[in-house]
Amino acid sequence: MDSITSVHVVLFPFMSKGHTIPILHLARLLLLRTGITVTIFTTHANSPFIRQFLGDIQQSLISVIELEFPSNIPELPPGVESTDHLPSMSLFIPFANATKLMQPDFERSLNSLSTSGGVSCIISDGFLGWTQQSAHKSGIPRLVFYGINNYAMTITKVLAMDRSHVGLGPDEPFILSDFPWMKLTLNDFLPVFNGSETEGPHFEFVMETSIATAKSQGLVVNSFYEYESAYLDYYNREFIPKAWCVGPLCLAEVQKFDRPREKPDSIKWLDQKLAEGRSVLYVAFGSQAEITEEQLREMAVGLERSEVSFLWVVRSKGEVLEELEEKVKGRGLVVREWVNQVEILRHESVHGFMSHCGWNSALESICESVPILAWPMMADQHLNARLVADELGVGLRILASNGSVRGFVGSEIVEKMVKELMEGEKGEDVRRKVKEAGEAARKAMEESGSSWRTLDQLINETCRRKDH
């Protein structure tokens, strides 16, 4: 294979933590190769997070360009430049559409980069579909990153074309003929993908971004081939553009914890649990989940009654959590600030993860061989939960008492499933499987592994400029 020479990659992540973090890991992986430089586009308010995240990287290899986030968008509160700061995720579409106003600025910067040495390729988020036009105008290949896995991507596309489910109830099981082993329900998909929402701003956004993706030169997928080969192979046989598995990207983080530093309080607490010989359940629902007060209360009661030790990282405030903290002092810890989730999952005391199954969280758990208690809330999370629990067998599933994947979950179910994961036989089974999965993930990311080789190949085929 040709070696990579003088490649300049522009990365443009979407402004949400779940989309930005994996792209930053990708930057790290690109820079482990010789001859590659990276420029990251972002906005002023997102820049400090990015600069801090990549603070240990040699400055000559990476630069960050800050663009102005559009102001005076009637629906958006001023100063909000990341979805985790939106007062409600119902503002997602106005937020995503606002980014389109950044196109002229982006193109001006891109042009100045092109005159000062050139850009080999752009890897931009699928939600920033308008960057496809910018790339096309400048004659630069664009690769798309959505942050979802092959399973969710493939099943969603197949569902869009297979109309056999039309007229079914939201929780009625059905199968897709090419995947007969898999039970699905319409509730596993967002309305915009399951045929129940066929017009309106969200539908238009999906159409626009999908067309931009189809016109792009490839899809960068945060997963690894061995784990989802059936879905990746199917996708690449049936759909365009070609998808490339280069993950799990979170494994690029490995070196970071070796540096001497003051441990965060949550890690000190976990050290203490380890010394007491207690297994800890880590509980977190990502950076943007919206949980009703009523549901939060059931979670809290279930955790309290389960009698397991737990570390709960949560954005919500309020008396439910204060009461819980009081009741479980010593056994449970509630943390309200940003933590390094990978560091927590890697801690020896952590033996389970109650998670919303954002794909980053699920992958991080798999990589650290921590079994998952899947409790999806929104977006692609219901499909991720199916993948984790039904397909890969690395987690158990929380379902409402009526069996619905979207229903209200009572505290008795939370208590039962937490005990099952941490102490039960089914928990043992998924623990064994996630260990194997974690080992396979690490192999894929080694220098001879499938993901490492795929990233080399992707850069060589799509981004390489020959110096001669």
Nearer to ligand UDP, 364 or 420 (CB): 364
Binding to ligand UDP by residue 135, rule CB under 6 A? no
* Minimum CB distance to ligand UDP, residue 361 (Å): 3
Q: Return the axis-axis angle of helices 131-138 and 103-115, rounded to nearest 10°.
A: 30
* Minimum CB distance to ligand UDP, residue 133 (Å): 26
- DSSP state, residue 77: P
Residue type, 279: S
Closest CA to 67 of 35, 91, 99: 99
* Minimum CB distance to ligand UDP, residue 22 (Å): 7
Nearer to ligand UDP, 126 or 286 (CB): 286
Nearer to ligand UDP, 109 or 361 (CB): 361
Binding to ligand UDP by residue 462, rule CB under 6 A? no
* Minimum CB distance to ligand UDP, residue 402 (Å): 25
* Minimum CB distance to ligand UDP, residue 54 (Å): 14
Binding to ligand UDP by residue 359, rule CB under 6 A? yes
Check: CB of residue 232 under 8 Å from CB of residue 225. Answer: yes
Spatial distance between the Cα atoms of 125 and 46, rounded to a whole number of angstroms:
15
Three-class SS state of 309: strand
Strands 142-145 and 218-221: parallel
Closest CA to 124 of 32, 190, 219, 29: 219
Nearer to ligand UDP, 17 or 386 (CB): 17
Binding to ligand UDP by residue 120, rule CB under 6 A? no
CA dihedral 320, 321, 326, 331 (to 10 degrees): 130
Nearer to ligand UDP, 206 or 362 (CB): 362
Under the phi-then-psi rule, with left for phi > 0, alpha for psi from -120 to 50, and beta for the rest, what region is 283? beta
Binding to ligand UDP by residue 37, rule CB under 6 A? no
* Minimum CB distance to ligand UDP, residue 253 (Å): 9
Beta-carbon count within 10 A of 267 CB: 19
Binding to ligand UDP by residue 338, rule CB under 6 A? yes
Q: In this chain, which of 302, 358, 371, 449 binds ligand UDP, going by CB under 6 A?
A: 358
Contacts with ligand UDP, 258-297, as mask; x by CB under 6 A: ----------------------------xxx---------
Binding to ligand UDP by residue 427, rule CB under 6 A? no
How many chain residues interact with ligand UDP (CB under 6 A)? 17
Spatial distance between the Cα atoms of 123 and 131, rounded to a whole number of angstroms:
9
Binding to ligand UDP by residue 340, rule CB under 6 A? yes
Residues contacting residue 363 through CB under 8 Å, at least 6 positions apart: 222, 223, 247, 248, 249, 250, 441
Phi, psi angle pair for 22, to nearest 5°: -65, -30
Binding to ligand UDP by residue 18, rule CB under 6 A? yes
Beta-carbon count within 10 A of 119 CB: 22
Residue type, 155: I
CA distances from 415 to 361, 405, 421 (A): 22, 18, 10
* Minimum CB distance to ligand UDP, residue 146 (Å): 11
Q: In this chain, which of 361, 365, 450, 454 binds ligand UDP, going by CB under 6 A?
A: 361
Question: Which residues, 59 to 88, sit near ligand UDP by CB under 6 A?
Answer: none
Binding to ligand UDP by residue 360, rule CB under 6 A? yes
Q: CA-based Rg of the chain, rounded to a whole angstrom? A: 22
Q: Which two tokens stand for residue 421?
A: 């994961």
Phi, psi angle pair for 463, to nearest 5°: -110, -10
* Minimum CB distance to ligand UDP, residue 266 (Å): 10
Q: In this chain, which of 17, 28, 297, 351 binds ligand UDP, going by CB under 6 A?
A: 17
* Minimum CB distance to ligand UDP, residue 340 (Å): 6
CA distances from 82 to 19, 69, 124, 282 (A): 10, 10, 16, 25
- DSSP state, residue 242: P
Contacts with ligand UDP, 292-331, as mask; x by CB under 6 A: ---------------------x------------------
Binding to ligand UDP by residue 248, rule CB under 6 A? no
Check: CB of residue 392 under 8 Å from CB of residue 367. Answer: no
* Minimum CB distance to ligand UDP, residue 301 (Å): 23
Three-class SS state of 216: coil
Question: Whose CB is nearest to ligand UDP?
Answer: 18
List of residues contacting ligand UDP (CB under 6 A)? 17-18, 21, 286-288, 313, 338-342, 358-361, 364
